[in-house]
Amino acid sequence: MIPHDPALLRRLHLAAYACTVVDAGHPLRRALYGDLMRHTARHAAMVAELAPLLQAWHDAGVSALLYKGMHLSAFVYPVVGTRFHGDVDILVSAVSVQRAVAIARELHWEVESLRTGERDHNAATLSRREGATAIDLHRWAVHRPSRDMSHARHITDAVWARATHALLGTAPVFVPDAVDALLVGLVLERTWGDRWMTKAHDPIDWMLLRDRDGVTREALMERAGELGCPRTLASFLARFDPDTGLPALAPPGRMTRAALELRTGLESGLPEA
């Protein structure tokens, strides 16, 4: 159910999407049409900036996987550019990070927060001076640095194994399988990465990913077993399940979060000392 308050929709970063799902003559569509134009123009500007970098990486043998917000905006939402996101999340293999950063520098991307440690989920932040795009370059598909990185390595390798080729503009890129986009990009991001805090667009992301490629509950649960996170998925769905009722968007209280962390801690990885 889309609220009919333009100011609220803008605060929730849902204005552009809402404009595309109301009837053509609805007052909300007129109120939000400028938001739609701005969001789609921003997306187009990002694609224009990203394409040469993605092409250069491809030519140098650096595979890049687009996931989370930009992936949804470009490949999942019915109207391209209407899923708001901030940074562009791109996954490269751990052994390709240094090469990817060097190529970005050659193409005049500014490199910030370069991290070379194996436990660092974010390898670097790349940005364009006076540009539209900032990239979070990742070496692992999941958060949670730990003593034993085997869980992050296993999940990341599994995501790569199911990823498929696509084009962002004219540039080659990989995108995650729909089940992985839902399980890793949404469920594990919100639980292991964001400590069980959800966002207003998460129910829409869930339903579009589910419906676009026919992701079944059985396939999601089977994949959770393969990736070693069935408790995390079950705990997430107990709070957030668009298929059976309204999801909990309010952040959990301290005691609830502690209980969730205890239940799923062995799956997310033993914390660093």
As given in the structure block, the two tokens for residue 54 are 């993605």
d(CA 76, CA 96): 27
3-state secondary structure of 255: helix
SS3 content of the chain, % helix, strand, coil (to 5): 50, 10, 35
User: What value does the mean pLDDT of the chain take?
Assistant: 91
Full DSSP string of 43-93: HHHHHHHHHHHHHHHHHTT---EEETHHHHHHHTSSSTT-S--SSEEEE--
pTM: 0.93
Judge whether residue 80 has pLDDT over 90: yes
**Residue 239: which of 195, 176, 185 has the closest Cα?**
195
pLDDT for position 242: 82
As given in the structure block, the two tokens for residue 76 are 């999942």
Residue, of 137 and 112, whose pLDDT is higher: 137
* Structure confidence at residue 143 as a pLDDT band (50, 70, 90): confident
Judge whether residue 92 has pLDDT over 50: yes
% residues pLDDT > 70 (the chain): 95
d(CA 205, CA 249): 14
Over its C-alpha atoms, the chain yields an Rg (Å, rounded) of 19
Judge whether residue 127 has pLDDT over 80: yes
* 73, 85 contact by CB (below 8 A): yes
In sequence order, the β-bridge partners of residue 134 are 127
- Residue 137 backbone dihedrals phi, psi, to 5 degrees: -90, 120
d(CA 69, CA 67): 7
